[in-house]
Amino acid sequence: MTQGLDQPLRLRRFPDGRKGRLPLATPVVLGYSSLLLGAGGAALLGLWNAALLRRPWLFLWTLLLGAAGWFGFGAMAVALLGAGVQTPQLVLLAGRLAGIGFGIALAALHARHVRGHVFLDGAVIPILPAVIAGFALQYLLAPRVMLAVQGLWPLFLTK
């Protein structure tokens, strides 16, 4: 059935499609990278998407979400250690769970924009190589650097 001209079109929630010049990270890749690299690592891929799509508001919101996730990881670690949690694995688990939440928010934020890119036959980064690269980074980076990437910024305040 066709929609009558007397009713407004409901396209407000869907941005116009823009095609990036290079492959974009799909929302699934953003979610997996937030699990592996934290909200800051996923936000770097999201900033890549926003810059290639020339979306300043998407860039700003991605930057804000990534910064909130990165600083939130460290603040949560300090709060848990202050509350008496002695096991570092529990602190890291809580930070990773928070990173997953921020990854879901990033994926939801980017989904409509990446869908327009794909609709215009734009290339995307395949999921499997991106996940393998995330795992490789986890093992190749020094533990202190990896924790700093994930958002354990209080490490910068210690020697």
- For residues 63 and 43, the answer to whether their CB atoms sit within 8 Å is yes
Closest Cα partner for 74 from 119, 40, 114? 40
Which pairing describes strands 24-25 and 124-125: parallel, antiparallel, or unpaired? parallel
Per-residue pLDDT tens digits of the chain, which is 159 residues long: 555 556 655 555 556 678 888 999 999 999 899 988 889 889 999 999 999 999 999 999 999 999 999 999 888 888 998 899 888 889 888 888 888 899 999 999 999 888 888 888 889 999 999 999 999 998 999 888 888 888 888 877 776
pLDDT of residue 42: 92
- For residues 15 and 112, the answer to whether their CB atoms sit within 8 Å is yes
Residue 159 structure tokens: 């020697």
Domain locations in the chain as residue ranges: 24-157
The residue type of 110 is H
pLDDT of residue 3: 54
